[in-house]
Structure 1
Amino acid sequence: MKMRHRNLDEEEEDGSDWNERQFNGFFLIFTSLLAVVFVLGKFLHDRPRLQSALPEAGLTVIVGVAASAIIWLVAPHLYDADLVVNDPKYGSDIRDIANGLLSFSPTFFFGILIPPIIFNSGHHINKRLFFRHIKPILLYSTAGTFINIIVMAVLLNALVKADLTGEFKPHFSELLVFGSLIASTDPVAILAVFQKKRVDPQLFYLIFGESVLNDGVCLVLFDAFSMIVGGEGNFNGPVDAAWSILADFLISFTGSMCLGVASGLGVALVLKFVDMRQCRLLETSFYVLVMYLPFFAAETIRLSGIVTILFTGISAQHYAARNLSMGAQDDTDVFFRIISHIAEVAIFLELGLTVFGLGLTSFEDFCIEFFLWSLLVCLVGRACSIYPMTFLFNLSCNHTKGNQNMMDELDAEGSLAYTTLNDQTAESSDMSISYNKAHMLWFSGLRGAVSYACAKNFPDDYGNHFYFVNITMLIVLVTVFVMGGLNEPFLNFLRIETGVDEKEYMGKYKEPDNLFRILDRGYIRPRVIRDYKKRKSSYNTEQIKHRISESAMNLTRSDSVEVTLDEHRQLLNILAANSLGYRQASIYDYGAEDSIDI
């Protein structure tokens, strides 16, 4: 089925081009559905019990499926509407609009909707916590993801060889591609619950960090494995293929990460030497473009746009945002959150809309035997990626703790030299991951729109593209509704710590001095941040005075009112908070709409 809503300048080879009426009709229906989701979302937020069983992503998919069913049933009867309406093109317009709504464009998804979501996550991430847990995050998202893919491909191939998957018998190379797309996780519903219940921050950042890096890793491996399908003979054996894939992965991942950091530094330098603070609209507009430019640059040179834009968001917030005026910081903060939330809702809405647009002709199109085995193998593969990585990380923590115990036995004269090292090893030993948290990590492997978008790009060398799309859709729906709905009960069953005091948690650990921190504060920041040496914080005294005086200038005698002393103090506190654009920072702030407080 043609994707009619992405490219408005298509050739006439598939019927007719989009005209103004088709364009308006498509966006009228789609934006109306978005509005319905937002209104229903408010009712869902007001009913915590229902929300614990039905995540917002699930609600959005339901709206999409319902709309998809209506369009699928009603649209064919309107195709001949030109017999009633005196317009011979009316029927074809209806057909094209319906096809556009019932289809899913991977290009539109990856090029338009994904960048603001990933950038917003990186821009609002708590860098201290993210990098504190970077070792297990990298273990889960790289080595763990690779193990997950291989285990799923090998197990499914064994089931195919054992003739347990019915008539659907894909090749091993296709199973590698399928494993790479289905290993991508999207724990949006789980993170929303974690944010609301204030779970253990370590678990929160392990799941969040793994998910954002996992998408990039899966996409890189998806592209690498896709080149093998139908062309196994291009490599001199499996060893040559493995080395080629590993090299592609390392080059793409490290190159994308470096490009993202360089993009953030580049924007910071531009804002440092081109002072736009007096032109707030231009300043904000320029900074917003950072959401897309590095992504398209990475895709153009065949790197990972997702990894690039994630590290662009992290580095832009760390360096470039400090060169913005306070007003622009406020504006971009809210703008990034709003665009990200709309994009997330649009993705799940499109996912639901495509259910009746799959072109199914019979129940066999879902390959039920293969689907059920795939669902089981997904759980087994994720277990094989989570538990061994948890064991290895805990082993390294125990080794560090052993070194600390040896140092504790030193005499008083020698122990002073190890004070700093002892602080670091003490922190490392306290970061071990309990197996209850590992169970929650395993359960949080929901599949989402990234998996489905990859499935739409599945290579069709063996004619199995159609079936893999259907199977992926079913897996996404099952994980979103079943695992997403059981998330809160499973969290309670595991007795994961909730209601964590953020200030107390952050006060437990010292941020250790390492090579990057020394380079960052002593070399990088002074060169990319305006007046860095004069600033003890991102809001200095002169800026505060300027904002307060600027607000005071807007007051006139006609605005004056009589207030009590207590009311006067309260108003001063509100004015001071507003003048700083102040919003209580939260370690659970990952850029989601529940984090907005304006």
Structure 2
Amino acid sequence: MGEATTEHQIGMESQKEFAVYFAVTITIVMGAILFSNYVAHHKHWFMLPEAAATILVGMLGGVLYLLHTSSVTQSLATFDPSIFFIGLLPPIIFNSGYTMKRRFFFDNITAIVTYAVAGTTISSFVVGVIVYTVGYCGISLKLTLAEALSFGALISATDTVSVLAIFQELRVEPTLFYLVFGESSLNDAVAIVLFASFSKFIGNSFTASAIPVAVLDFIFIFVGSTLVGILFGMISALLFKHYNFKGCLFHEVSVYVMFSYLPFSVCTAFDLSGVVAILFTGIAMKHYTCNNLSEEGKATCAKFFNAISYLSEATIFLNLGLAVFSMQKGFHFSFAFWTLFACLVGRALHVYPLSYLLNLRKSAERQITKPTQHMLWFSGLRGALCFALALEWPNELQRHYIINVTMVVVLTTLFIGGGATVPVLNYLKIKRLTPSEDLAIDQIVRPLKRLRILQFDAKYLVPFLTHMQPPSEDGGVTNLKAVNELKQVVNDEIRPAAATVAQDEDGIDFNNMH
């Protein structure tokens, strides 16, 4: 009886201690949000991006945690990869696909997929080979080939939240914005799958001949996860098309939100990539399912996903700051130096050669210009995903070196690269739009003729999965009268009414349908 009472008392004390530090953590999260809002929207300090401001608050909070050494304190200060991948990452990735303006995305789809898939793969190999070579020569940390390639994959995951926030506020021309946004949206998924494929060989025999096996594994996981994501998007569309919620907004929104997590769990169970699946689920649900929601449901879901995504991002960067003071011993300076060098080289060797190849098939007015290429190279900041993958490093002997160096790379690129974004934009003379130009580009519809898959989608899939009807035989993709009226309104600098152009984001004009 006495032992049971003692255990109960110990449990109560542990709960109290956890509650206190959890309350402190919540307070720090709120403080980080307020501080980042003040920095970005009150003072417009572009030299201190929102992500960096949040990390700073986390580092200050970490000082409080240094005063206590209990297990609960350490668990709060330590970045738990399970919480990241299961709790925080899915809403961020889903929101990336959900908020994507798909007509700009698909207008640059070839370049985006090339940079994200081929580019990330190239960067992973370049970084891995450089790190392996310098380690073999004895001037850096020595890693096996499998370890080097795994590290190259995890450190090639870019995080452009800070850069995109600045791009959006300055109204940077949309081609650059969506190249950076599209690449970063797919890049995380590619890096995770590559890391999973290469890390399987850590501790096992791995030679250059095993690389094709790892690449095939990557292709299988990526394609399979993509299909799962699209399938769930279509299933949700059919459900919302044929089931009547009788105006119950909370039921409608609740079921919609649950679909944003389902594919992640399914893919995890079948050893596929939940991140890839949930990204394409977000794209498919916004394209199909969203059109079957009530008007209130559309507005509520959009606000919910934006809010939960922002809160998740803030929590991740805050934990990054907190984790600075919980880093283990074992920092390797030469490893950090060569990793930063390899990241710059790997980024350059995928942006510039791939841009050259892409420009061979583009007309003069659609070329990816040199300033845009330079900005793409500069925008390859590293973020929380790299750190979370480093915490999942399978080799216990090398883990603390990998974690510490990854932290240094993340902090260096975020603070230096993120802070220098505006000066680099000014130096490269990147075009910025006026409010009227921004509105015109955002509203004028691009034709579907450039991509046959979008024509097939508009004619068959959209009518089958939504309440909308197929376009007219002539394509029905542009309402010239509406566009001309819009141009006149923009020239007069009067914001048009929401009903001026009734169209879907992908360029389907629903005023010109049967």
Q: TM-score, normalised by structure 1?
A: 0.75
Change (3 A) 1:451 1:34: same
Superposition pairs for residues 27-426 of structure 1, below 5 Å? Answer: 27-49=22-44, 51-72=45-66, 74-76=67-69, 95-165=70-140, 168-232=141-205, 237-239=207-209, 241-360=210-329, 365-397=330-362, 401=363
Question: What one-letter code is carried by the residue in structure 2 that aligns with 1:182?
Answer: I
**1:452 and 2:384 correspond:** no
Counterpart Cα distance in 1 of 2:223 and 2:471: 34
> Where does residue 480 of structure 2 map in the other structure?
none
Counterpart Cα distance in 2 of 1:20 and 1:520: 53
**1:487 and 2:480 correspond:** no
Q: How far is the alpha carbon of 1:142 from its aligned partner? A: 1.1
Q: How far is the alpha carbon of 1:531 from its aligned partner? A: 5.8
Match for 2:407 among 465, 473, 493? 473
Extract unaligned runs of 5+ from structure 2. Answer: 1-6, 477-494, 507-514
Change (3 A) 1:495 1:376: same
> Where does residue 479 of structure 2 map in the other structure?
none
Counterpart Cα distance in 1 of 2:89 and 2:53: 20
Counterpart Cα distance in 2 of 1:69 and 1:315: 44
> Where does residue 522 of structure 1 map in the other structure?
459
Q: How far is the alpha carbon of 1:16 from its aligned partner? A: 7.6
Extract unaligned runs of 5+ from structure 1. Answer: 1-11, 77-94, 402-428, 538-572, 588-598
> Where does residue 541 of structure 1 map in the other structure?
none
> Where does residue 421 of structure 1 map in the other structure?
none
Q: RMSD in angstroms over aligned alpha carbons?
A: 2.7
Counterpart Cα distance in 2 of 1:198 and 1:512: 28
Question: What one-letter code is carried by the residue in structure 1 that aligns with 2:348?
Answer: A
User: Given that residues 37 and 50 in structure 2 are in contact (C-alpha distance below 8 angstroms), is that contact kept between their aligned partners in structure 1?
Assistant: no
User: Given that residues 26 and 100 in structure 1 are in contact (C-alpha distance below 8 angstroms), is that contact kept between their aligned partners in structure 2?
Assistant: no
Counterpart Cα distance in 2 of 1:214 and 1:321: 25
Change (3 A) 1:324 1:238: same
Counterpart Cα distance in 2 of 1:327 and 1:256: 31
Alignment size in residue pairs: 473
Change (3 A) 1:469 1:56: same
Identity %: 36
Q: How far is the alpha carbon of 1:141 from its aligned partner? A: 0.9
Q: Which moved more, 1:523-532 or 1:59-68?
A: 523-532
Counterpart Cα distance in 2 of 1:490 and 1:523: 45
Change (3 A) 1:534 1:373: closer
**1:512 and 2:435 correspond:** no
User: Given that residues 92 and 312 in structure 2 are in contact (C-alpha distance below 8 angstroms), is that contact kept between their aligned partners in structure 1?
Assistant: yes
Q: How far is the alpha carbon of 1:27 from its aligned partner? A: 2.4
User: Aligned to 1:252, what secondary structure does the other structure show?
Assistant: helix
Larger Rg: 1
User: Given that residues 22 and 96 in structure 1 are in contact (C-alpha distance below 8 angstroms), is that contact kept between their aligned partners in structure 2?
Assistant: no
User: Given that residues 164 and 369 in structure 1 are in contact (C-alpha distance below 8 angstroms), is that contact kept between their aligned partners in structure 2?
Assistant: yes
Q: TM-score, normalised by structure 2?
A: 0.87
Counterpart Cα distance in 2 of 1:517 and 1:277: 32
Counterpart Cα distance in 2 of 1:18 and 1:323: 50
Question: What one-letter code is carried by the residue in structure 2 that aligns with 1:149?
Answer: S
Counterpart Cα distance in 2 of 1:133 and 1:27: 44
Q: How far is the alpha carbon of 1:513 from its aligned partner? A: 5.7
Change (3 A) 1:152 1:16: farther
